Amino acid sequence: MTTKRPFDGFDFEGFWNDCPHSLENYVEPPPSDKLIASIEQEMGGYRLPAAYVDLARRHNGGMLKRSCHPMKERTGWAEDHVAIEGLYAIGRTSDYSLAGQLGAKFMIEQWGYPPIGVCIADTPAGGHEQIMLDYRSCGKQGEPQVVYVDQEDDYSIFVVAPDFETFIRGLVEESEYDTTEERRAATIATIERGTLSPIVVRALVATGDRLLNGERILRALARQIVDEKGFFALHDDERSQLMYGLMFWLYSSLRTARSFEAFVIRPKTGTSYDDSPCFELMIIFDLVADPYDFNTGGYAEGFVRDWWDACVAGGDIVEMAEGYRLTPKAEATLLGRLATIAGPQANEPAR
């Protein structure tokens, strides 16, 4: 008798989004039995569903083209569905894998998600929502249901699907839910009026009159990024690189970067914005205990590193005794470009 394999008859054509960001941050090679066992132990002894393991052996983690799942309840994303950013790989080397730097363990230990099972996917909400395997009814060795957890709503839990295979089979393309304009309008509202990172607020004050109306310039630049892309994300385009420069300049008003990592990466021991100024907490992520609105929710570190390396190679960022800083010429060029890109009135005093 032939045993039915999970996903028999399922068409994976057009399912995965194998873009560079996905391949770099989500995808891992197919897991071995030994790796699966060690990951299950690391996750707290939860047995991963056979369908999850089967899927990982076909394609281990990744962002999705079929990125939406219908919901009966309203989510932070829409009235009738939840959007999925990417599935976590069974592994620990990619950032968004079960045991990766920003994966399942990180979400429970650092973001306070309930210990009901295993986080398996993120959403475009930048950590404020998770898709989880819920083992409360079946026990650690049973077949868990798939649930949506909303961190913004006191970690409310809603059932998405009765099991993992049903969840995957239920995913559809975003075109099934035409909410592009609604999302764009919501993003623009956040860009124009949402709260800024406390680090950015402090840095804008510290820069004094060196960049008049700095907040207006920051928001104008972000608005141009949204107008160009339809969403707020930083890549390797001209405006994104200008945003990297602005963030580094603001950061430098508070402290001098000892290295690229010191500027970009949130310290693992940091528990507040005051003791952890960094690029990630300026515009990418927020702290659960003290959230802010104006952030992208995610990024590809490689784009920031490429910008940094180009600035160092070109002599715009130089290493001094105390660390790395923009040269006076590079700073003047940056501020001039910011004033231009944000409009001719950007550097006039606010009335």
224 within some domain: yes
Residues 189 and 78 occupy one common structural domain = no
Q: Does pLDDT of 346 surpass 50?
A: no
Range name among 66-75, 152-161, 234-243, 305-314 with the lowest pLDDT average: 66-75
d(CA 150, CA 230): 24
Mean pLDDT of 339-349: 60
For position 179, what pLDDT does the model report?
A: 61
7 within some domain: no
Residues 44 and 86 occupy one common structural domain = yes
Beta partners for residue 70, in sequence order:
81
d(CA 317, CA 310): 9
What burial letters (b/e) apply to 261-273, b meaning 16+ CB within 10 Å?
Answer: ebbbbbeeebeeb
- Amino acid type, 198: P
Q: Does pLDDT of 343 surpass 70?
A: no
Closest Cα to residue 93, out of 156, 1, 27?
Answer: 27
Residues 260 and 125 occupy one common structural domain = no
Answer for the pair 295, 308: CB distance below 8 angstroms, yes or no. Answer: no
Token representation of residue 189: 């509202």
Residues 152 and 186 occupy one common structural domain = no
> Which DSSP category does 283 fall into?
I
Q: What is the pLDDT of residues 243-274, one digit of tens each?
A: 999 999 999 999 999 999 999 998 877 668 98
Q: Does pLDDT of 74 surpass 80?
A: no
d(CA 162, CA 45): 21
d(CA 15, CA 171): 9
Residues 76 and 21 occupy one common structural domain = yes
Residues 191 and 58 occupy one common structural domain = no
| C-alpha distances in Å from residue 40, one per residue of 32, 35, 100, 216 | 12, 9, 13, 48
Token representation of residue 147: 């649930």
E-assigned strands of the chain?
16-17, 62-64, 68-70, 81-83, 86-87, 117-122, 129-134, 145-150, 156-161, 317-319, 324-326
For position 245, what pLDDT does the model report?
A: 98
Q: What is the pLDDT of residues 1-34, one digit of tens each?
A: 557 788 988 999 999 999 988 999 999 999 999 9
Residues 86 and 152 occupy one common structural domain = yes
Residues 336 and 221 occupy one common structural domain = yes
Containing domain of residue 225, as a range? 180-341
Query: What pLDDT band is residue 228 in, cutting at 50, 70 and 90?
Result: confident
Q: Does pLDDT of 321 surpass 50?
A: yes
Q: State the pTM of this model.
A: 0.61
Give the total number of structural domains in the chain.
Answer: 2
Complete DSSP assignment for 178-247: --HHHHHHHHHHHHHHSPPPHHHHHHHHHTGGGGTTHHHHHHHHHHHHHHHHSS----SSHHHHHHHHHH
Query: What pLDDT band is residue 178 in, cutting at 50, 70 and 90?
Result: low
Residues 194 and 303 occupy one common structural domain = yes
Q: Who has greater pLDDT, 216 or 301?
A: 216
Residues 109 and 234 occupy one common structural domain = no
d(CA 238, CA 99): 34
347 within some domain: no
d(CA 252, CA 119): 36
Q: Which residues contact 98 (CB under 8 A, 6 or more apart)?
A: 39, 42, 43, 88, 89, 90, 91, 92, 104, 105, 118, 119, 120
Query: What pLDDT band is residue 289 in, cutting at 50, 70 and 90?
Result: confident
Residues 150 and 207 occupy one common structural domain = no
Token representation of residue 125: 């909400």
Answer for the pair 334, 251: CB distance below 8 angstroms, yes or no. Answer: no
164 within some domain: yes
CA 271 and chain centroid, separation: 19
Q: In degrees rounded to 5, what are phi and psi of residue 81?
A: -160, 165
For position 350, what pLDDT does the model report?
A: 44
> Which DSSP category does 276 fall into?
-
What rounded mean pLDDT belongs to the chain?
90
9 within some domain: no
Q: Does pLDDT of 96 surpass 50?
A: yes
Residues 309 and 333 occupy one common structural domain = yes
